[in-house]
Amino acid sequence: MTTALVWTGVALLGGAGAVCRFLIDRAVSTRLKRGFPFGTLVVNISGALLLGFLAGLALSPHTALLVGTGFVGSYTTFSTWMLETQRLTEERQVWPAAANIVVSVALGLTAAWLGMWLGGRL
């Protein structure tokens, strides 16, 4: 696979991942109109599951780069997670901020493990 093709694939899949993130975050946030960032939580947990699944499949390096970095890398959002946690803290919502960290890490690790387990079974 040529370098230009890999770059093009990462760009296209990255765009698709960003659009999926936007749509899922918006859908979840619209349904759960609360001060907690449930949309980002759903996106990051599902992204951890997907990336774990892809890792369990033991894909070729080019395919892993295209799908893992291109799609999942732009789908998940560490920076938004941190910013939303910071905003909760600024609003003196310390328990929701702490819950966002603990729940995200615990569920993220569990989802990644589950994804790897499922991918390894195929």
The pLDDT value recorded for residue 74 is 96
Overall number of domains in the chain: 1
pLDDT tens sequence across 70-117? 999 999 999 999 999 999 999 999 999 999 999 999 999 999 999 999
Token pair 């659009």 in the structure block, residue? 19
The burial of 114, by beta-carbon neighbours within 10 Å (0-12 exposed, 13-18 middle, 19 or more buried), is given as middle
Could you tell me which residues are annotated as the binding site? 73, 76
Mapping DSSP to helix (H, G, I), strand (E, B) and coil, where does residue 92 land? coil
Domain span at residue 39 reads 3-120
Q: Quick check: 12 pLDDT over 80? A: yes
Taking the C-alpha atoms of residue 16 and residue 72, their distance in angstroms, rounded to an integer, is 9
Nearest to 99 by CA among 113, 112, 84: 84
The pLDDT value recorded for residue 22 is 97
* Average pLDDT of span 34-52: 96
For residue 90, CA distances in Å to 40, 73, 93 come to: 18, 28, 7
pLDDT tens sequence across 85-96? 999 999 999 999
Could you tell me which residues are annotated as the binding site for Na(+)? 73, 76
Taking the C-alpha atoms of residue 55 and residue 11, their distance in angstroms, rounded to an integer, is 21
Q: Quick check: 1 pLDDT over 80? A: no
